[in-house]
Amino acid sequence: MKKKKTRRQQTIRCPYCGAIADLRPASEIYGDPNAEGVLFVCRNYPGCKSYVHVYPGTNRPMGPLANGDLRHLRIVAHRKFDLIWQKGVMSRQQAYRWMADFFCIPLREAHIGQFSEYRCQELIRKCDVVLQKNRIAS
């Protein structure tokens, strides 16, 4: 008889304070009973305001925990990056390849949810150049 493999839930630590992160309902963190999904949230929350969403239907984090500043940068970076393919400067696939090439990373790692503050700032800067050259208001 074969033993069934069980996957242990990974331990996720906060990069800001070192505490372990726990799964908590998004509604609890956002204070909105209609908010869906779950988040990995630093145990020191709300003192440490770092958290990250998990992929729907899984307990897999979408990236490293992020504080408010990093979450804001990721949102801004995504909005500017998305304009590039939404306005037809490149296809979506070409835009992700362009981003991966800019950072010299494999395409599979070209996810803004994984980016640090520095990478987000650099992507915002680079997107602004592309959008300006194509006369697209950002």
Nearest to 77, CA basis, from 119, 49, 107, 39: 119
Q: Are the C-beta atoms of residues 76 and 138 closer than 8 Å to each other?
A: no
Q: Tokens representing 93?
A: 């696939």
The more confident residue out of 3 and 86 is 86
Report which residue type is found at 32.
Answer: D
Q: Tokens representing 18?
A: 């070192």
| pLDDT tier for residue 10 given thresholds of 50, 70 and 90 | confident
Which pLDDT score is estimated for 138? Answer: 81
DSSP annotation of 74:
H
